[in-house]
Amino acid sequence: MRAALEQARLALASGEVPVGAVVVQAGRIIGRGHNHPINRHDPSAHAEVLALRDAGAALGNYRLPGCDLYVTLEPCVMCAGAIQHARIRRVVFGAQDPKTGACGSVVNLFEDRRLAPHTAVAAGVLADESASLLRGFSPIAVVRRVNAIRVQQVEGEPCSQQLTRVCTTGLWLWRAAPAEADPRVPAPDPGESVARPAQWAAVLWCVCRPAV
């Protein structure tokens, strides 16, 4: 589990939700992963999924019988499904997830006999350390990172030549585009007003101000 915590710290350092996972076979780590959905633009890039992919590549097999998966946060439904498909022997997790946990906090897919379960579950290992990492994570930092990515470039074109809609704290901003609108970028909704300079300044300040 400490190796999974190290993976979680790597996620935190890269601006991701700090969750880490490792796959262990016969006392040896064969797969590692940490949260990566923001940087990879991949909603499936959770720590557990990446650790399973790494382990599968190491063994040359999509089934991982006899392997255990350690993860710092209770797996979600997506990850629980992947764990079952991989035939993981046991899942050991740290902190519970009261919003999306699929090992008992919200649902328990590993106890549903209709799913032909193969996996045992152990909870609460180094739970305080795992939860402490999550409490130290700032969602505001993620919002700023996503907004920074959105206002950079689309397929290598300068932002000044694009119509980019940026969502920041519920406000929609529209940037002027050339006469011929880019078909890849959605057009403004009818009746939607364009932000005035004062509004631009206020919202840009919210996005770009340094973290406190």
- Residues annotated as part of the active site: 48
Whole-number Å distance between alpha carbons of 50 and 78 = 12
- Residue written as tokens 């991982």? 64
C-alpha dihedral (171, 211, 6, 18), degrees to nearest 10:
-20
Q: Quickly count: other Cβ atoms within 10 Å of residue 2's Cβ.
A: 11
The pair of structure tokens assigned to 11 is 């996620």
Distance CA 39, CA 42 (A): 8
The answer to whether 101 touches 76, Cβ cutoff 8 Å, is: yes
Widest CA span in the chain: 63
CA dist., res. 19 & res. 149, Å (int): 22
Rounded to whole angstroms, how far apart are CA atoms 71 and 59? 20
Q: How many other CB atoms are there within 10 angstroms of residue 59's CB atom?
A: 15
Radius of gyration, CA atoms only, the chain: 21
Locate 194 and state its tokens: 């364009």
